[in-house]
């Protein structure tokens, strides 16, 4: 029996390497074999080979990790040429009865993200597909937020350590979204807070969808939303929907950006003190500190983009409408791109807050916590609440209205 060893097949099946393995398989006779060695699980390789050559081989696992995977492929028979296929993007999509699966490990790196976008764009509202990968595909999630907006749900069906399987569903049009409901009547936001329904970062979901995901009785929520709308109206001074967009940008800067700038050094100082004094008894504080440092980095960069690019452009749009004049050139031809990037960064900040909230058990101070410990948790919780309100104002009110205004101005210019 001839054995051909193919060493160091890095990654999982970039197409040129897979073609080399496929060529080797086609060149041997029934009864002959060869070995494929890799630093990842070779299950996708076996699945792809079976998809293209059918039941014409056996796969004997010689090593199964954690550093090296090795499988011996033995050809048992030859598949007729007319039944053979070649690797391509479509082959990576395994059609399920209800939900297709895109195994991105079968694709060249340059084709992975475009293939996911192609599959997503082909969906109708409410439809979904799986992606299968050999590492956490979270960077793809942020890219989708930036390029398509928060119009999908992302659910981990399998979360490592060797395989990640994610269900991506295009949001169905099932009435107004949580963000739209909160934007139209801020009193309803209190109901969403009560039930843990995210109306800022996750505000593009419908009420039905959000309740189903959390297994919440939608009838009860709808009843409380109706009761909230019948309560005493909120002050006109805080009916954000009535505010001019330039005024709203100034409000967000003065109320929320400056709040962070003032609180951040206080929180950072408290964090250092609490970690130094309590980390031996509470090792989780190292993770809290690490996540907060990441939040600092994210927010400082994000706020700078808003203050120097996004907010000035929105003010230019408002001024152009008021004076019936063209928008001054400032490097932005279409505001939708920057706004989607801002929403992606909001999502990243929201996830950091979730991590901190989870690690601290919703900011529950340990029984041996000192006053500094209590003050730190109080300020972290206040910052989280402020950021939720901040993101709500931008995602659900400022950004949609700015995009609509720019579209109206462009249409008026085209018709002039």
pLDDT digits (tens, 9 = 90+) for 299-346: 999 999 999 999 999 999 999 999 888 777 666 778 888 898 898 888
Pairing of strands 152-159, 69-75: unpaired
pTM exceeding the 0.85 threshold for the entire prediction:
no
Q: What is the pLDDT of residue 269?
A: 95
Confidence of residue 28 (pLDDT cuts 50, 70, 90): confident
Confidence of residue 236 (pLDDT cuts 50, 70, 90): very low
Residues 78-132 have pLDDT tens digits of 876 655 554 454 555 565 557 888 888 888 788 888 889 989 988 888 889 999 9
In terms of Cβ atoms closer than 10 Å to its own Cβ (0-12, 13-18, 19+), residue 251 is: middle
Cβ atoms of residues 376 and 270 within 8 Å? yes
Give the whole-number percent of the chain exceeding pLDDT 70: 85
Domain boundaries, the chain: 3-83, 90-170, 178-234, 243-415
Yes or no: domain 90-170 corresponds to CATH 3.30.110.40: yes
Residues 268-277 have pLDDT tens digits of 999 999 999 9
Element (H, E) at 235: none
Assign residue 285 a region: left if phi > 0, alpha if psi is -120 to 50, beta otherwise?
Answer: alpha
User: CA 152 to CA 128: how far, in whole Å?
Assistant: 9
With residues binned 3-state (H G I as helix, E B as strand, rest as coil), the percentages for the chain, rounded to 5, are 60, 15, 30
User: CA 136 to CA 102: how far, in whole Å?
Assistant: 15
Q: Which tokens in the block code for residue 316? A: 């230019």
Answer CATH for 3-83 from 3.40.50.10420, 3.30.110.40, 3.90.550.10, 3.40.50.150 = 3.30.110.40
Which range among 44-48, 333-337, 375-379 shows the weakest confidence by mean pLDDT? Answer: 44-48
Average pLDDT, the chain: 83
Rounded mean pLDDT of 228-237? Answer: 63
The two domains 3-83 and 90-170 share their CATH topology (first three levels equal)? yes
With the C-alpha atoms ordered 343, 345, 347, 353, is the resulting torsion angle positive or negative? negative
Residues 6 or more apart whose Cβ sits within 8 Å of residue 172: 125, 126, 206, 209
In terms of Cβ atoms closer than 10 Å to its own Cβ (0-12, 13-18, 19+), residue 147 is: middle
User: CA 141 to CA 172: how far, in whole Å?
Assistant: 18
Cβ atoms of residues 303 and 260 within 8 Å? yes
Q: Which of 23, 35, 30 is nearest to 75 (CA)?
A: 30
User: CA 392 to CA 189: how far, in whole Å?
Assistant: 10
With the C-alpha atoms ordered 34, 39, 40, 41, is the resulting torsion angle positive or negative? positive
**What are the E-state strand segments in 13-83?**
33-38, 57-64, 69-75
Which range among 66-70, 228-232, 348-352 shows the weakest confidence by mean pLDDT? Answer: 228-232
Q: Which of 317, 329, 313, 306 is nearest to 391 (CA)?
A: 306
Q: What is the pLDDT of residue 316?
A: 92
Cβ atoms of residues 400 and 182 within 8 Å? no
Q: What are phi and psi of 4, to 5 degrees?
A: -110, 120
DSSP annotation string for 154-217: EEEEEE-SS-EEEEEEEPP--SSBHHHHHHH-THHHHHHHHTT--SSTTTTSBHHHHHHHHT--
Task: Give 71's DSSP letter.
Answer: E
Rounded mean pLDDT of 376-385? Answer: 94
Question: CA 20 → CA 5, 215, 254, distances in Å?
Answer: 12, 49, 60
Q: Which tokens in the block code for residue 189? A: 């936001």
Residues 51-84 have pLDDT tens digits of 677 788 888 888 887 777 788 888 888 876 655 5
Residues 245-274 have pLDDT tens digits of 999 999 999 999 999 999 999 999 999 999
Cβ atoms of residues 256 and 390 within 8 Å? yes
Q: What are phi and psi of 260, to 5 degrees?
A: -65, -45
Q: Which residue has the tokens 């529950």?
A: 364
Q: What is the pLDDT of residue 95?
A: 55
């Amino acid at each position: 029996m001839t054995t051909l060893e193919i060493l160091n097949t890095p990654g999982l099946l970039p197409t040129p390497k897979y073609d080399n393995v496929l060529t080797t398989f086609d060149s041997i006779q029934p009864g002959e074999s060869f070995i494929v060695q890799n630093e990842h699980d070779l299950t996708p390789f076996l699945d792809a080979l079976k998809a293209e050559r059918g039941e014409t081989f056996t796969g004997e696992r010689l090593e199964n990790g954690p550093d090296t995977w090795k499988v011996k492929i033995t050809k048992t028979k030859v598949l007729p040429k007319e039944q053979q296929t070649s690797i391509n993007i479509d082959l990576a999509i395994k059609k399920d009865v209800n939900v297709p699966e895109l195994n991105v490990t079968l694709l060249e790196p340059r084709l992975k993200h475009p293939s996911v976008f192609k599959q997503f764009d082909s969906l109708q509202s409410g439809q979904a597909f799986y992606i299968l990968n050999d590492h956490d595909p979270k960077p793809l999630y942020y890219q989708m937020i930036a390029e398509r907006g928060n119009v999908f749900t992302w659910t981990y069906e399998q979360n490592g350590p060797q395989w990640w399987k994610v269900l991506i569903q295009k949001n169905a049009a099932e009435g107004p979204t949580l963000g739209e409901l909160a934007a139209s009547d801020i009193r309803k936001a209190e109901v969403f807070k009560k039930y843990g329904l995210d109306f800022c970062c996750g505000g593009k979901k419908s009420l039905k969808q959000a309740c189903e995901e959390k297994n919440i009785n939608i009838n009860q929520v709808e009843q409380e939303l109706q009761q909230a709308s019948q309560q005493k109206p909120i002050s006109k001074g805080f009916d954000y929907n009535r505010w001019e967009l330039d005024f709203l940008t100034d409000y967000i800067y003065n109320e929320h950006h400056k709040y962070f700038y003032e609180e951040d050094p206080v929180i950072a100082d408290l964090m250092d003190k609490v970690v130094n004094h309590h980390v031996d008894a509470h090792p989780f504080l190292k993770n809290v500190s690490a996540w907060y440092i990441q939040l600092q980095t994210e927010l400082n960069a994000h706020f700078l983009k808003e203050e120097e690019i996004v907010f000035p452009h929105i003010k230019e749009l408002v001024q152009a409408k008021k004076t019936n004049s063209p928008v001054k050139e400032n490097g932005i031809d279409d505001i939708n791109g920057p706004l989607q990037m801002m929403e992606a960064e909001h999502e990243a900040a929201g996830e950091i807050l979730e991590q901190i909230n989870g690690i601290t058990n919703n900011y529950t101070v340990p029984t041996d916590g000192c006053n500094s410990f209590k003050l730190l948790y109080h300020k972290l919780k206040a910052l989280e609440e402020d950021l939720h309100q901040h993101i709500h104002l931008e995602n659900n009110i400022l950004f949609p209205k700015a995009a609509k205004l720019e579209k109206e101005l462009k249409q008026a210019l085209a018709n002039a």
